[in-house]
Structure 1
Amino acid sequence: MGSDDLFHKRRARRSAEMARALATRAQGERVLIVCEGKKTEPLYLNDLKTDLGIRPAAVKIAPHNGSSPDKVVAHGLALYEEDAKLGDSYDAVYFVFDRDKHVTYATAVQRLSDCKIAGKPFHAVTSIPCFEYWLLLHFGFTDKPFTEAGGKSAADTLISELRTKPNFNNYGKGQKGIYGLLKDKLPTAMSAAASGLANATKTGEENPSTRVHELVEALQRLSERC
């Protein structure tokens, strides 16, 4: 194949990609959600998205490989810029990651804050110590700090408590159907998460806290427009 043919094929493919992007834009706003985990968070959020009746093209959920928060942020930035190069960009990008024992947590949060100040539609959806705190809040409010104990990390300690709850005795990372098990308790979790975050902001003690409820609220609002 000659170089001219290859050039024209690439140009045609890029034009087709841009046309698809613009066609999607014509249908309404679009949201990108970048997750630290490959299974737990994407599975939960995909089930939530389906339950809310959000059209597939409106929300893209991009799993990562469970690596550090700074790499999650870098991955999301790359996806955002790649989309923008097609002639458009996402209306909002949510970065879902935990603090746990990650040494780059604060750096990642600060980078997103700087991007937001610069006008980027970026949102940090953090959980301290981990996403499972959001799941635990479906059973009621708790602000008990979770720390390393008995050779367990803070996240492992929290998961041990989650396993004491009904239907969660065998809970494991990447388990399917979690959203369905907790759906009826969602209002409890929303209220508890908001209270916990307000308390963390007031006292400066972020362990435990989560912003997952802010993402859920955003998706609920989006569902009303899609």
Structure 2
Amino acid sequence: MTKHNNRDLSRRAPRREPYKTVLIVCEGTKTEKNYFNNLVAYERLSSVNIRVLPGQGTDPRSVVKTAIDYMQKQEKYLAFDEVFCVIDRDNHQTFDDATLLARQKGIQLIVSYPSFEYWYLCHFRYSRAPIIRKGNKSAGDHCESLLSACWQEKFKENYSKAMKGVYEKLLSYLDEGTKNAVLSLNSAIAERQFNPSTQAHELVAFLKGIRT
């Protein structure tokens, strides 16, 4: 390989920037991971500084364990300044264990009740009506159905958990989504009733402001 080609490769290679290093481990293998990867790309954040990974397992404790394992593997090469686990509350039995383990390891949980789709739903409307199981549909499935109706009305297309580019697609509604998410979370804390609510806006704001 020529020196010229070597220079081209080095220019294209991601590099660490002089802001915090962050690990984000997501419960979902598609929805949350795609959203935050799209945010990182759109906001031109370094993929060296910001790592977004799927959890090895579909429950909160497995997600936290994935984060701990990855931190330990990478500590010789890259010590993360901040570690987040993006999880759903729904009816997971390991939620309390995950909360305790995360606290012990200094990991911040970004929790959505009942699912991450509630964060998307906040972009279109404010509602504190509990989202619960209906028939054979889990609370998470019910939340997705509510979102799908709004998505179809707004974008004239079907919503899919595997969609890419959702951060960009919702960008013009982000201020509204953040406002509704903040109102919902404040109400949830005051009433001690967290269904529905989300902390996703807090991680989004942190990433958007990471350079400052």
Q: TM-score, normalised by structure 2?
A: 0.86
**Cα 1:164–1:87 shift into 2, 3 Å:** closer
Q: Is 1:112 matched up with 2:108?
A: no
1:152-204 C-alpha deviation (Å, 9 max, x unpaired): 11111111111111227521221222222211000111111111111111111
Q: Taking structure 1 as the reference length, what is the TM-score of the superposition?
A: 0.81
Runs of 4+ aligned structure 1 residues displaced above 6 Å come to none
2:167 matches 1:195: no
Q: Match for 1:124: what amino acid?
A: L
Whichever residue aligns with residue 196 of structure 1, its letter is S
Decide which structure has the larger Cα Rg and report it.
Answer: 1
Residue 63 of structure 1 corresponds to 54
SS of the aligned residue for 2:173 comes to helix
Percent sequence identity over aligned pairs: 33
Q: What secondary structure does 2:123 align onto?
A: helix
What RMSD, in angstroms, separates the aligned Cα atoms of the two structures? 1.7
**Residue in 2 aligned with 1:153?**
138
Q: Report if the CA contact (8 A) 2:17-2:46 is conserved.
A: no
Q: 1:89 aligns with which of 62, 71, 79?
A: 79
SS, match of residue 85 in structure 2 = strand
Pairwise mapping of residues 12-161 of structure 1 onto structure 2 (< 5 A)? 27-84=18-75, 86=76, 88-115=78-105, 120=106, 122-161=107-146
CA separation in 2, counterparts of 1:169 and 1:88?
41
> Take 2:96 and 2:54, find their aligned partners in 1: how far apart are those partners?
21
Separation in 2, partners of 1:185, 1:160: 20
Q: Are the counterparts in 2 of residues 38 and 66 from structure 1 also a CA contact under 8 Å?
A: no
Matched residues in 2 for 1:69 and 1:191: separation?
Answer: 26
Contact 1:162 1:168 in 2 (8 A): no
Structure 1 residues 172 and 137: alpha-carbon distance in aligned structure 2, compared to 1, 3 A threshold: same
Q: Which has the higher helix share?
A: 1
Q: Which runs of 5+ in 2 are unaligned?
A: 1-14
Question: In structure 1, how many angstroms separate the alpha carbons of the residues matched to 2:17 and 2:145?
Answer: 46
How far apart, in 2, do the equivalents of 1:57 and 1:66 lie?
A: 24
On the 8 A contact 1:37/1:65 being kept in 2, the answer is: no
User: How many pairs align?
Assistant: 195
> Do the aligned residues in 1 keep the contact of 2:59 with 2:92 (CA within 8 Å)?
yes
Q: Which runs of 5+ in 1 are unaligned?
A: 1-23
Deviation at 1:87, TM superposition (A): 5.6
8 Å CA contact retained: 1:112, 1:124: yes
SS at match of 2:170: helix
1:79 to partner: Cα distance: 0.9
